[in-house]
Structure formats: structure tokens, C-alpha cells
Amino acid sequence: MDEIKFNLKKLTHRAKGDTGDFITLNEEACNGCGMCELVCAATLWSMKGGKARLAPRYRELCFECAACWEICEREAIDFHYPAGGTGLVIEYG
Ligand code: SF4
Ligand code: SF4
């Protein structure tokens, strides 16, 4: 199958304004299974010391797809969309 590439930056922009922290991790609940790292297309999750770690710059890099929240069986990840009017804006499609 042919590989399909697209440039997300050309299809989106980031609205101005403070998104607030829209993803949080409950480290006590995390068992280090690595599923969030596996599923994140933006490669914002990594594992450190047996726990998930979210990239500090996630606010400006996250696709807001909520896949990490959906996949976490321990419900260690909390996701909600950024504060009204901020965050990722899809311009086409
Ligand atoms: S999917 Fe959940 S339990 Fe697994 S590493 Fe990520 S945060 Fe931790
Ligand atoms: S919402 Fe999507 S892009 Fe953002 S950290 Fe979670 S899996 Fe990655």
C-alpha cells in the first residue's frame, strides 16, 4: 500500500489564547503499559521510570484527537478540549 503523507500545518492553525492544561495524568493510576505512547500520532507520550510522561510542549503540538484518553484502560489520562476558542483549528476538509 502506498504511503500517504500530509502536512498538518498547512491544514490547520492554532488559535491565539491560553488553552489551559487540557491533558492531565494521574501518575498513581498509570501502570506504564505504554499504550498512550503507541497511539499518539504526535509522539507526545514517552515512558520514564515505569510511568507515562507527556511532552511539556503538548499544548502547542497536540492534535486534540483524545486517542490517549480513549486507550488508557487505567483512566489515568484526563482529556478535555482546550478552553473555548483556543487550540487547534481545522481549516480544510
Ligand atoms: S495508557 Fe494509561 S496506564 Fe498506560 S502508560 Fe499511558 S497513562 Fe499509563
Ligand atoms: S490527544 Fe491525541 S495527539 Fe494529543 S497527546 Fe493525546 S493521542 Fe497525542
User: Distance (Å, rounded) from C-alpha 59 to C-alpha 45?
Assistant: 13
d(CA 85, CA 74): 30
First to last CA, the chain: 23
Ligand that comes closest to the CA of residue 39: 2
Place of cell 473555548: 84
Domains by residue range for the chain, with CATH:
8-90 (3.30.70.20)
pLDDT given for residue 80 in this prediction: 94
Per residue of the chain (93 residues), give pLDDT as tens: 677 776 777 778 888 888 989 999 999 999 999 999 999 999 999 999 999 999 999 998 999 999 999 999 999 999 999 987 788 887 775
pLDDT of residue 8: 72
Q: How far is the CA of 76 from the centre of ligand 1 (A)?
A: 6
Q: Is residue 64 a contact partner of residue 8, using CB atoms and an 8 Å limit?
A: no
Query: How far, in Å, from the CA of 63 to the mean position of ligand 2?
Result: 6
Pocket of ligand 1 (CB under 6 A): 25, 30-36, 52, 71-72, 74, 76-77
pLDDT of residue 30: 98
Residue with CA at minimum distance from ligand 1 atom 2: 72
What count of other Cβ atoms lies within 10 Å of the Cβ of residue 32? 15
